[in-house]
Structure 1
């Protein structure tokens, strides 16, 4: 996989390595998110040992680790019987040479020997800290890395000098990989999400439909079964979690709705949802004006666009896809895709607002998010408490230009958002895939902004 757009992480790793003293770095994040490519790019032109752990017996893991070290120093492989001796051997070598040592898929080692963090603690405390070298632990099992490496109960707690939670690309980052026009770029992102490997599987010389059929709907394609592999990385019994993800992807967003769709009682459901949130597979959202911890108006959504697409269209149609994938795409996916993309478009518009704030093109807001109460919803509301300023925005992924009806609707809903003083400053924005009816902008006050796909593309341009 080609290295893409991890400049901030790469710069931070470079700064850590170039600073004085030792470094003990933890890198983690979901499968396929680009951790290994980041570390390989960082190690380029640096003396390093890169060890990729595998799911195999402990003695074979240890033998291969020792082989890597001996090979790097061009010496005979010593006889070593335990991990404590293995790390002693590494420590002896680091006394004479500044080196980057990467242990990738570290959770595989812990699975075979849960005492490994204790051995590493001794190595860090007694040997690594007296060197100028860097040791990097990397893993795709978020739960294992957070509990066994970063957690309070871990022997390694407090030893790290830096940590990197590598996340999928935002749309702004992903669009540098996606080779489509603005509209199809958003559609494509709504399908692949920001996971670098998923993005690079698409051939952007082919149509979006062709890519979906060949890279997702084909039973031989990598992405056809990808979510199942992802869940098995983290969970021993993923069946109930999969049913929850499918329910949320199909639009059941409140605990009661999810419970009704899955048959899981609300009590146990909360624990499943908490686990999915910890694994970054589901997000909990409350209205932007509400308190995150206290609000009872929470909604859940699948945190990754590809997973949302897969659980919405692939999982429920497995049997049909096996028989006739083209018919599933043409008859089920394509007609419903605008509804799926509309949610992604709202997130893209939020990115535009944040980018505009950072660049000084828009007024500043400290909080930006969705708002709802009862039957009323507003796609984006921004809050600027220090200035008593509030932003109202709607995002329309429709085939027709936006006109007065949306303006009137937003004006009607704005007073229902109870926030700030009576004399608050109100700003309005409309985002539209298909533009606006002629003359609309001229008929609106100065506190209204209208943005088309071209405007969105300009705001997110990194050129």
Structure 2
């Protein structure tokens, strides 16, 4: 099925864990728990649903909604009573009065001598709304659930809370293993949409690899063709996904939203973000930025160099959200009055400069996955370098560690234009910046969308090589 392109690895992991439950039947504790986390709308629930449908095992799939503890308890009872668990009638005969009783009854409803699956989706809602939920879950798991041949899948979109669930000194610590589900990667997107490497990378920057948005992209269509259709469809996932995700994590009037808009508009330094967010106090900005970073919505980065630096910069971590904050949200009113053509022309005018900056994190991550190769060694840290005044700015810095390196592995530049190759002028600029950063003859690297027209580089990479880094 189209939405599961690129999920082969994750389905295999789920199959392997369930197989380990089957192999442990008859043992004292055959049960296994897997904690699945990933940002909203990356397809966690769909992945689990596909896994369940492929199998032949009884299961229950419960999704918390963020309601009160009592309403959630009623919803769980209803879901179990309609499930394929062999003793689901227990919840109908005598509905549990509290969550402790519900977890005990759930264990009784599971088969004793054959595998089953229990899915609790959006676990962070229960952690937030049900008093002592983690402790109750830990006791139920240790005393009852793990003694059944069950695979317990705990799924959540709040990354920080899902990490906390399994962290040291929390009740459920080390009870489950973790599976992080990311968006579809550029290679997945290229296969799914029948796109050549340059176009696949463009699609990755627009969709962020979110399956619901990728499904709206007609195979072989250009960015402009996709946007033409999406901007004229008020229910398009491109338009509504970001707002729904943000509304679930941040109240509409929260200061975090204002700070996120400022960063999304292109501001990267603390001072400029404060100004763009309406001149807010630095203490308020610090709290908002910390929350955004904690939620993995924003990345806070320091330059990589041989000396310490305090020049922290912020960027929106998700490519799709970055696109949406730049081009969609500020102009939603004209899109809603069916003037998406105006939005499209604005995107066309700003596309080249926006894409040139947006592609840099993807290039860095691709190189980190690709190396070592024949030209460059294994490089534990790939980032960038900048000064406060930006008189020196280097797109790519490979080093032994970050942000304060002991040794630099390479320096590089990204040129991502339609028909302008990396040339001798670009090389000369990179050489000048290297001389300002270090006296050593650190290897020079270039990444270009349109090829290379100079000699003197130690390594070069184009769209095809970048996509190879993501191949299964």
Question: TM-score, structure 2 length as denominator?
Answer: 0.85
Partner of 1:427: 443
Partner of 1:305: 319
Assess if the C-alpha contact under 8 Å between 2:397 and 2:410 holds in 1.
Answer: yes
CA deviation vs aligned residue, 1:133-184 (integer Å, no higher than 9, x gap) = 221111223354344x33556433x152201232223434433334222222
* RMSD over equivalenced CA pairs, Å: 2.9
Take 2:73 and 2:470, find their aligned partners in 1: how far apart are those partners? 51
> CA distance change for structure 1 residues 13 and 295 in 2, over 3 Å: closer, same or farther?
farther
* 1:63-82 equivalent positions in 2, closer than 5 A: 63-69=77-83, 72-73=86-87, 75=89, 77-82=92-97
Take 1:112 and 1:413, find their aligned partners in 2: how far apart are those partners? 53
Assess if the C-alpha contact under 8 Å between 2:334 and 2:340 holds in 1.
Answer: no
Assess if the C-alpha contact under 8 Å between 2:366 and 2:470 holds in 1.
Answer: no
Assess if the C-alpha contact under 8 Å between 2:371 and 2:377 holds in 1.
Answer: yes
> CA distance change for structure 1 residues 372 and 108 in 2, over 3 Å: closer, same or farther?
closer
Matched, 1:13 2:14: yes
CA deviation vs aligned residue, 1:4-43 (integer Å, no higher than 9, x gap) = 3233433333333333332122112221112123323433
Partner of 2:297: 281
Assess if the C-alpha contact under 8 Å between 2:58 and 2:116 holds in 1.
Answer: yes
1:168 to 183, 207, 211: 183
Matched, 1:23 2:32: yes
Partner of 2:416: 397
Secondary structure, counterpart of 1:225 in structure 2: helix
Partner of 1:99: 116
1:358 CA displacement = 4.4
Report the count of equivalent residues.
448
Take 1:451 and 1:27, find their aligned partners in 2: how far apart are those partners? 34
1:300 CA displacement = 0.2
* 1:320-359 equivalent positions in 2, closer than 5 A: 320-358=334-372
Gaps of 5+ in 2: 25-29
Assess if the C-alpha contact under 8 Å between 1:213 and 1:325 holds in 2.
Answer: no
Q: Which moved more, 1:77-86 or 1:210-219?
A: 210-219
Take 1:260 and 1:213, find their aligned partners in 2: how far apart are those partners? 34
Partner of 1:413: 433
Partner of 1:45: 55
Take 1:342 and 1:351, find their aligned partners in 2: how far apart are those partners? 15
Partner of 1:179: 194
Take 2:271 and 2:227, find their aligned partners in 1: how far apart are those partners? 33
Secondary structure, counterpart of 1:201 in structure 2: coil
Assess if the C-alpha contact under 8 Å between 2:409 and 2:443 holds in 1.
Answer: yes
> CA distance change for structure 1 residues 173 and 369 in 2, over 3 Å: closer, same or farther?
farther
Partner of 2:45: 36
Assess if the C-alpha contact under 8 Å between 2:206 and 2:319 holds in 1.
Answer: yes
Assess if the C-alpha contact under 8 Å between 2:82 and 2:88 holds in 1.
Answer: no
Matched, 1:135 2:152: yes
Assess if the C-alpha contact under 8 Å between 1:94 and 1:128 holds in 2.
Answer: no
Partner of 2:219: 204
> CA distance change for structure 1 residues 303 and 455 in 2, over 3 Å: closer, same or farther?
closer
Gaps of 5+ in 1: none
Assess if the C-alpha contact under 8 Å between 1:27 and 1:138 holds in 2.
Answer: yes
Take 2:315 and 2:201, find their aligned partners in 1: how far apart are those partners? 19
1:318 CA displacement = 1.9
Take 2:361 and 2:161, find their aligned partners in 1: how far apart are those partners? 30
CA deviation vs aligned residue, 1:323-381 (integer Å, no higher than 9, x gap) = 34343234311110111111233234324423431455633322211111242101101
Partner of 2:399: 383
CA deviation vs aligned residue, 1:60-111 (integer Å, no higher than 9, x gap) = 3132133045754475732123232222222223434322211222344455
CA deviation vs aligned residue, 1:177-207 (integer Å, no higher than 9, x gap) = 3422222222221111122322222222433
Take 1:216 and 1:290, find their aligned partners in 2: how far apart are those partners? 46
Take 1:456 and 1:63, find their aligned partners in 2: how far apart are those partners? 48
Question: TM-score, structure 1 length as denominator?
Answer: 0.87
Take 1:389 and 1:107, find their aligned partners in 2: how far apart are those partners? 41
Take 1:318 and 1:96, find their aligned partners in 2: how far apart are those partners? 55
Assess if the C-alpha contact under 8 Å between 2:77 and 2:96 holds in 1.
Answer: no
Take 2:349 and 2:375, find their aligned partners in 1: how far apart are those partners? 36
CA deviation vs aligned residue, 1:395-436 (integer Å, no higher than 9, x gap) = 112232332111111111112224xxx6x4521122222223
Secondary structure, counterpart of 1:426 in structure 2: coil
> CA distance change for structure 1 residues 173 and 284 in 2, over 3 Å: closer, same or farther?
farther
> CA distance change for structure 1 residues 394 and 127 in 2, over 3 Å: closer, same or farther?
same
Assess if the C-alpha contact under 8 Å between 1:216 and 1:222 holds in 2.
Answer: no
Q: Which moved more, 1:249-258 or 1:119-128?
A: 119-128
Take 1:22 and 1:31, find their aligned partners in 2: how far apart are those partners? 28
